[in-house]
Amino acid sequence: MTDAALIDAARILDGSPVPTFVIDSSHVVVYWNEALARISRIPAAEVLGTHQQWRAFYPAHRPVMADLVVDGSDRSLLEKFYRGRYRRSPHNPDAWESEDFFPHFGDGGRWLAFSAAPIRNADGQVVGCVETLQDISERKEAELARREAERRLNEIVAGSPVATFVIDAQCRVTHWNRACEALTGVGHDEMIGRDDVWRAFYPYETRRVVLAEMIVRGAREAEVSERYTGHARPSKLVPGAFEARDFFPSFGAGGQWLHFMAAPLHNLSGDVVGAIETLVELGGETPVDA
């Protein structure tokens, strides 16, 4: 493909809403569409025929993804400039993808995902590269908000004076706080990721489910009541939750009665994706039912 043909092919993208630019084998900008001009605030006339594609993205000269693809996609250079944030495109094995935050885009900066694919002539030689960009700011902001919410949950659970643990939809332990460590004598690192949480409470028995697991598996009130022989009931505070009492012979001198409550955790669709369980010591004597 000649440079003229490259330019003609690029013109096909003129009406595309996807920000796009094309460079030739000499890294000269041969195409810069209107969508990119709008998002970068750099008109095509300022960059066409130059090596200044970097101006749209970085405050100082450095190669963009398209430059690296034209040069042969050297992994050491990809790692240098996109440290741990690049991958081969799942749609084109010749293309590379990455994402980054660009502080001077828009008001307060924008997150952009970008993909660069080589353009080859009839002999298979790389004669240029096309790079496309997508504004992913809303997705990244939602992702960051989710991570912040998870961080706060982790802090709340970890710092709670009430023994607390959390399991996911596969009944694997995701949280095991310090109060739970003190109560059971089983450490956080021993429990995270395990699907046999019962071992921390009933070490001398064969496998059995705990209340949180019953919640995840959708147990009915009758099943919960039968499991805890009259010491269980639906929670008056949390829909779908149960509270119960049981005796734990391995805790303390002579064993310990605990009161515990397990509540379901839901995703945005309302599906149960886990459960949280809290435990409180009741003393050494069998409690009288309320």
List, in order of start, the domains of the chain with CATH numbers: 3-135 (3.30.450.20), 156-283 (3.30.450.20)
Mean pLDDT of the chain: 87
Number of residues written out for the chain:
290
Q: Give the whole-angstrom CA distance, residue 215 versus residue 29.
A: 60
Contacts of 129 (CB under 8 A, 6+ apart): 22, 23, 66, 67, 69, 70, 116, 117, 118, 119
Which amino acid is present at 239? P
Q: Give the whole-angstrom CA distance, residue 137 versus residue 135.
A: 6
**What DSSP state is assigned to residue 288?**
P
**What DSSP state is assigned to residue 146?**
H
pLDDT at position 188 is 93
Tell me: pLDDT of 14 over 80.
no
Contacts of 187 (CB under 8 A, 6+ apart): 181
pLDDT at position 290 is 42
Tell me: pLDDT of 1 over 70.
no
pLDDT tier at 204, thresholds 50, 70, 90: confident
Q: Which of 27, 25, 17 is nearest to 47 (CA)?
A: 27
Cα–chain center distance at 201:
31
What percentage of the chain has pLDDT greater than the value 90? 54
Top-confidence residue, 231 or 43: 43
Tell me: pLDDT of 288 over 50.
no
**What DSSP state is assigned to residue 14?**
T
pLDDT at position 171 is 95
Q: 7-11, 119-123, 143-147, 210-214: which range is least confident on average?
A: 7-11
pLDDT at position 87 is 92
Tell me: pLDDT of 71 over 60.
yes
Top-confidence residue, 228 or 254: 228
Give the residues across from 212 on adjacent strands. none
pLDDT tier at 228, thresholds 50, 70, 90: confident
Top-confidence residue, 64 or 250: 64
**Helix residue ranges per DSSP H, 160-200:** 178-184, 188-191
pLDDT tier at 286, thresholds 50, 70, 90: low
pLDDT at position 65 is 94
Q: Give the whole-angstrom CA distance, residue 110 versus residue 54.
A: 16
Q: What is the mean pLDDT of residues 209-218?
A: 93
Q: What is the mean pLDDT of residues 92-118?
A: 89
